[in-house]
Amino acid sequence: MLLHIPEVLTREQVAGMRAALAEAEWTDGRQTVGPQGAKVKRNLQLPDASPLRRELGDQVVAALTRHPLYHAAVLPLRTISPRFNRYEGGGEYGFHIDGAVMSTGRGEEHVRSDISCTLFLADPDEYGGGELIVSDTYGEHEVKLPAGDAIVYPSSSLHRVTPVTRGARIASFFWIQSLVRDDSGRRLLLEMDTAIRTLSAAGADQAAILQLTGVYHNLLRRWAET
């Protein structure tokens, strides 16, 4: 499921992050991938040990936690602390698939990457190129969103970032282990949750809404892994 999550961050929050990142020291992004990824990756990242990465990452997670669409679509169980990257001067990331299991950086804890998320911190008119291309059975989908908006998609998807030909593409990116491993199951639950909210807002029969809500939670109870 490829889903646009609008207005995760306010304009003020984006401006604050951009100001902090403008003063940051960046490192070669190839340091955080294996030998296959290093062949096609050319960008800059905040070092994993950077206190700024942790500070801004906590802000991103807090904002997403408050966003009802994100929670309904992702059903997050565990989240890798967000990273931050910068593409400029032709920087790109060729087609790749994200690793299936990732270290959280906290001891022996690991996360299964069910869902990938990119949170854009630069507006589309600030840079040329830099589109996120996600490939699935329906073809290739081009994503370039306003600053403060996010895109979520299955981590199993083949995807890339096209070369940045002007300006700088700045974003946060991370991975989530969902309560529901199966993407089609998450999609059904999101559709049901959306229907329940719509019917409730329209003043539909409360007994029917209660029954539908029970079906939602019983499906979640059946599929959830903790």
Residues 159 and 199 in one domain: no
Q: Tell me the pLDDT of the chain averaged across its residues.
A: 95
Residues 81 and 162 in one domain: yes
Residues 135 and 38 in one domain: yes
Least confident of 23-27, 71-75, 106-110, 147-151: 106-110
Cβ of 140: how many Cβ atoms within 10 Å?
A: 13
Check residues 18 and 107 and name the one with the higher pLDDT: 18
- The 10s digit of each residue's pLDDT in 155-198 is 999 999 999 999 999 999 999 999 999 999 999 999 999 999 99
- Mean pLDDT score, 3-25: 98
Cβ of 211: how many Cβ atoms within 10 Å?
A: 11
Whose CA is closest to 88, among 162, 168, 149?
168
How many C-alpha atoms does 176 have within 13 Å on its Cβ side?
A: 25
**Helix residue ranges, H only, 47-182:** 51-65, 68-74
- Mean pLDDT score, 8-34: 94
Rounded (10°) angle between helices 206-223 and 183-201: 160
- The 10s digit of each residue's pLDDT in 95-109 is 999 999 998 777 668
pLDDT confidence of residue 103: 85
0.85 exceeded by pTM = yes
Number of structural domains (the chain) is: 2
Q: What is the CATH number of the domain that holds 28?
A: 2.60.120.620
Domain span at residue 105 reads 3-178
pLDDT confidence of residue 107: 66
**Helix residue ranges, H only, the chain:** 11-22, 35-38, 51-65, 68-74, 183-201, 206-223
pLDDT confidence of residue 52: 97
- The 10s digit of each residue's pLDDT in 28-73 is 998 877 777 788 999 999 999 999 999 999 999 999 999 999 999 9
Residues 136 and 194 in one domain: no
pLDDT confidence of residue 33: 78
Q: What is the CATH number of the domain that holds 203?
A: 4.10.860.20
Whose CA is closest to 192, among 218, 225, 226, 157?
218
pLDDT confidence of residue 35: 78
pLDDT confidence of residue 104: 79
- Mean pLDDT score, 81-98: 96
Percent of the chain residues topping a pLDDT of 90: 89
